[in-house]
Chains A and B, each alone.
Chain A
Amino acid sequence: MSQILIKQGHIIDPANNINRIGDVYIAEGKVVSVTHEPAGFKPTTVIDATHKVICPGFIDLSTRLREPGQSRKATFKSEAIAAASAGVTTMCLQPDTNPVIDTPAVAELIKELAEKADYPQIYPIAALTRKLEGTELSSMLSLKQAGCIAVGNAQQAVKNLLILRRAMEYAASHDLLVMFRPNDYWLGNNGCAHEGAVATRYGLPSIPDEAETIALAQCLELVELTGCRMHFGQLSCKRSVIKIYQAKKYGLNVSADVAIHQLHLTENDMIPFDSSYHVLPPFRNEEDRQYLRQGLASGTLNSICSDHQPHDIDAKLGAFPETEPGVSSLETLLPLMLKLVTQGEITLVQGIAALSENPARVLHLNSGALTVGYAADICVFDPELTWQVNADNWKSQGINTPFWGQEFKGRVTHTIQAGKMIYSLE
């Protein structure tokens, strides 16, 4: 097997508290040394990382790769290439595939598709309830044994709190992590935009903050009742951040993430009726954005996810409320994180931790760090390299991004997954 030397880069490994110039040595798919050359090390590949950052590969807590069921939107192959080019080495897959990830057969199919795409580190999240319908429990233990890393509700609200309670109790019995996006079905009212001035002006069906915060508050009560290990995904508003802060202070075993685009865009950035801004939860207001940023800086929100949702052209071609929600967002993950650093909201170490060390902790993975003996999942990026979001550079099959045409600073040059180079920028 190949031996890789990554030379003279700025190593940032938050988990091991490393933040200095040095070399990383990889052999047998694992990190064998950081800084000191191991005896007899004969690299087959040398990467010159001068003026570049070497950090753990990114772990994405929420993605959709559209297989099985929607390969017209994207495939494991297309999105694995996009992920590799974005420095992402591990992806969690939301269960709202077709069929839903609620049987071991579907989980196994996903593992197979991942192998075929030469991107093995895709972890399915199993449906919390059968077909995500919120009425019957899924076979969580069998799903766990089939390789599911957690159970979750994807975008579907769980209407019945008794079912939610039982699902959480059952998950807790098998030490399964529950990845939950809080949204109240009734208050959400099939809306498509934040309940604010913009939705009012354009007559768009709207979703109040309370659709998220009330569902979150209820769920936090159930965490205390059931002792379930809970991670809240894609939070979007101020009072959600406050609630997570209070819950952690109170001692509940919870964590939370935010989707990268929520840290940058608000309702006021939306170009009227431009469907590339149609996301769920919706872009909220400036105060919400500020709280999300502070929540990230203070660690209340410990992870950033891409919430990657590639679409075909037709899915976004229509009047705004009728289009499908979601942003194709793997490839803007790093540059948008770096933008937060440039804007002084977080440090580079915090940003990298939110993309590697922290999601690894959420998932209980021995990953997200350059620890000797860990699988070598590594991202090398040039923080100064500028590039444009355009057809020449874009890898994902979904081009549904509000950032299309924009210029960004910071680009991945090499991605290594379990010791194998899966991407290098020509």
Chain B
Amino acid sequence: MTENIQLNSEGKLKHFLSIEGLNKTLLTEILDIADSFIGMNDQQIKKVPLLRGKTIVNLFFENSTRTRTTFELAAKRLSADVLSMSIATSSTSKGESLLDTIRNLEAMFVDMFVVRHAISGAAHFIAQHTAPHISVINAGDGQHAHPTQAMLDMFTIRQVKQDFSNLRVAIIGDILHSRVARSQIQALNTLGAAEVRVIAPKTLLPSHVESLGVNVSHDLTSGLKDIDVIIMLRLQKERMTSALLPSESEYFKCFGLTEAKLKIAKPDAIVMHPGPINRGVEIDSKVADGPQSVILKQVSNGIAIRMAVMAMAMQKQGAVG
């Protein structure tokens, strides 16, 4: 990235669009701030007044329940006013362009947009064209990035494993279409993981996947050797109709995580999944609900991470005046 529009002139987070362009110090700061929020989950009053008087709009051009809910909760716990809009497929069908939608909302004195969109680069585009005082948080754009998901995964890994430097992490499944995987790979490499391995058939890997800084395996059995963290990705049903895979059952046979396959990884390996899970397609129920699974922990951590990112992106305004 030649220009980093994510940072303000003081190097503080202004937008959170992708992991790329953010250094280890900043990523660690996000994790540390999230840590300070995590205790709030157990308190009677789950609120801090950090963003009181601020207006946040969740702009979801693509359906999502979990991500939208956790962003909403995170905003509310920071005492912001939050409005969630689901804009079915795209308002362009009504003749309104993405930019018109943004301009209209800007006119309502919004301070932050949380954006999910089916097209790669959408959040980037909005950040470039929105008014200078508005922050943009990317809640997933096409196949490009899903940085808050990646950071909540990093947070979960750090909770269990403390340090990244000795970790070997395997990401398994549909890397090609996964914005989560791209952001995870960048975050793991920035935080200094010992190895990031992707395991998938060639049809589910992007053409130059090695250039992302990963090792590649097409075999789950050999691929899981020495692994500390296993990240399973969701498999969409349309991968079958577009001839990327023959069937769900054959996929499960080759790349589904079962108890037997889990034994190949290190004994204290943890199992993660960004959700929602396809039980019996990419992961066996016994593994998803088993002792090594941290899948529900990921969901709880999602709120703290999103609070951290929102608070940081808003803080820049106080500093600037």
**Which positions in A face B, CB cutoff 8 Å?**
195-197, 199-206, 208, 271-273, 314, 317-322
Interface centre among B141, B143, B145 (most CB of A within 10 A): B143
11 interchain pairs, CB-CB under 8 A: A200-B212, A202-B120, A202-B144, A203-B143, A203-B179, A204-B143, A205-B143, A317-B129, A319-B120, A319-B142, A321-B142
Contact residues in B for A271 (Cβ distance below 8 Å): 2-3
Q: At the interface, yes or no: B94 with Cβ under 8 Å from chain A?
A: no
The residue from A197, A200, A206, A273 contacting B121, defined by CB atoms under 8 A apart: A273
User: Complex: how many Å from CA A320 to CA B144?
Assistant: 11
Contact assessment for B98 and A201 in the assembled complex, using a CB-CB cutoff below 8 Å = no
Report the minimal beta-carbon distance from A264 to chain B, rounded to whole angstroms.
17
Q: At the interface, yes or no: B260 with Cβ under 8 Å from chain A?
A: no
Stretch at the interface among B28-36, B77-85, B201-209, B215-223: B201-209
Contact residues in A for B117 (Cβ distance below 8 Å): 319
Report the minimal beta-carbon distance from A133 to chain B, rounded to whole angstroms.
24
Q: Which of chain A's residues has its CB closest to B117's CB?
A: A319
Contact assessment for B208 and A197 in the assembled complex, using a CB-CB cutoff below 8 Å = yes
Report the minimal beta-carbon distance from B117 to chain A, rounded to whole angstroms.
7
B128-172, CB under 8 A of A: which get 1 and which 0?
010000000000011111000000000000000000000000000
Contact residues in A for B124 (Cβ distance below 8 Å): 272-273, 319
The residue from B98, B119, B207 contacting A200, defined by CB atoms under 8 A apart: B207
Contact residues in A for B105 (Cβ distance below 8 Å): none
Given contacts A203-B179, A203-B182, A319-B122, 9 further A-B contacts (CB under 8 A): A199-B207, A201-B20, A273-B125, A317-B97, A317-B99, A318-B97, A318-B99, A320-B120, A320-B121
User: Complex: how many Å from CA A271 to CA B20?
Assistant: 14
Contact assessment for B182 and A201 in the assembled complex, using a CB-CB cutoff below 8 Å = yes
User: Complex: how many Å from CA A271 to CA B125?
Assistant: 12
User: Complex: how many Å from CA A195 to CA B179?
Assistant: 17
Contact residues in A for B208 (Cβ distance below 8 Å): 195-197, 199-200
User: Complex: how many Å from CA A74 to CA B98?
Assistant: 24
User: Complex: how many Å from CA A79 to CA B144?
Assistant: 37
User: Complex: how many Å from CA A201 to CA B207?
Assistant: 10
Report the minimal beta-carbon distance from A227 to chain B, rounded to whole angstroms.
37
Report the minimal beta-carbon distance from A316 to chain B, rounded to whole angstroms.
11
Contact assessment for B120 and A321 in the assembled complex, using a CB-CB cutoff below 8 Å = yes
Q: Which of chain A's residues has its CB closest to B123's CB?
A: A319
Assuming the A-B contacts A271-B2, A319-B141, A321-B142, are A204 and B97 also in contact, with contact meaning beta carbons closer than 8 angstroms in the complex?
Answer: no
Contact assessment for A200 and B209 in the assembled complex, using a CB-CB cutoff below 8 Å = yes
User: Complex: how many Å from CA A201 to CA B206?
Assistant: 9
Q: At the interface, yes or no: B104 with Cβ under 8 Å from chain A?
A: no
Q: At the interface, yes or no: B108 with Cβ under 8 Å from chain A?
A: no
What is the interface size of chain B, counting residues whose CB is below 8 A from a CB of the partner? 28
User: Complex: how many Å from CA A318 to CA B119?
Assistant: 10
Report the minimal beta-carbon distance from A248 to chain B, rounded to whole angstroms.
30
Contact assessment for A318 and B143 in the assembled complex, using a CB-CB cutoff below 8 Å = no
User: Complex: how many Å from CA A319 to CA B138?
Assistant: 13
Q: Which of chain A's residues has its CB closest to B5's CB?
A: A272
User: Complex: how many Å from CA A46 to CA B3?
Assistant: 50
Assuming the A-B contacts A314-B97, A319-B98, are A200 and B125 also in contact, with contact meaning beta carbons closer than 8 angstroms in the complex?
Answer: no
The residue from B97, B119, B129 contacting A321, defined by CB atoms under 8 A apart: B119
User: Complex: how many Å from CA A208 to CA B145?
Assistant: 22
Contact residues in A for B143 (Cβ distance below 8 Å): 203-205
User: Complex: how many Å from CA A319 to CA B144?
Assistant: 12
Contact assessment for A272 and B1 in the assembled complex, using a CB-CB cutoff below 8 Å = yes
Q: Which of chain B's residues has its CB closest to A204's CB?
A: B120
Report the minimal beta-carbon distance from B216 to chain A, rounded to whole angstroms.
12
Report the minimal beta-carbon distance from A168 to chain B, rounded to whole angstroms.
30
Report the minimal beta-carbon distance from A210 to chain B, rounded to whole angstroms.
11
User: Complex: how many Å from CA A100 to CA B212?
Assistant: 43
Q: Which of chain A's residues has its CB closest to B211's CB?
A: A197
Assuming the A-B contacts A272-B1, A319-B121, are A208 and B211 also in contact, with contact meaning beta carbons closer than 8 angstroms in the complex?
Answer: no
User: Complex: how many Å from CA A271 to CA B208?
Assistant: 19
Contact residues in A for B129 (Cβ distance below 8 Å): 317
User: Complex: how many Å from CA A281 to CA B50?
Assistant: 49
B1-50 residues with Cβ-Cβ distance < 8 A to A are 1-3, 20
Report the minimal beta-carbon distance from A320 to chain B, rounded to whole angstroms.
4
Contact residues in B for A203 (Cβ distance below 8 Å): 120, 141-145, 179, 182
Report the minimal beta-carbon distance from A101 to chain B, rounded to whole angstroms.
29
Interface centre among A195, A196, A273 (most CB of B within 10 A): A273
Q: Which of chain A's residues has its CB closest to B122's CB?
A: A319
B91-114, CB under 8 A of A: which get 1 and which 0?
000000111000000000000000
Report the minimal beta-carbon distance from B113 to chain A, rounded to whole angstroms.
14
Report the minimal beta-carbon distance from B320 to chain A, rounded to whole angstroms.
25
Report the minimal beta-carbon distance from A131 to chain B, rounded to whole angstroms.
25
Report the minimal beta-carbon distance from A124 to chain B, rounded to whole angstroms.
32
User: Complex: how many Å from CA A385 to CA B183?
Assistant: 47
Q: Which of chain A's residues has its CB closest to B179's CB?
A: A203
Contact residues in B for A321 (Cβ distance below 8 Å): 119-121, 142
The residue from A196, A272, A319, A322 contacting B207, defined by CB atoms under 8 A apart: A196
Contact assessment for B206 and A200 in the assembled complex, using a CB-CB cutoff below 8 Å = yes
Interface centre among B117, B144, B145 (most CB of A within 10 A): B144
Contact residues in B for A320 (Cβ distance below 8 Å): 119-121, 125
Contact residues in B for A205 (Cβ distance below 8 Å): 120, 143
Closest 7 CB pairs of A and B: A203-B143, A203-B144, A273-B121, A197-B211, A200-B206, A319-B122, A319-B119
User: Complex: how many Å from CA A317 to CA B97?
Assistant: 9
Contact assessment for A208 and B207 in the assembled complex, using a CB-CB cutoff below 8 Å = yes
Q: Which of chain B's residues has its CB closest to A273's CB?
A: B121
Contact residues in B for A201 (Cβ distance below 8 Å): 20, 182, 211-212
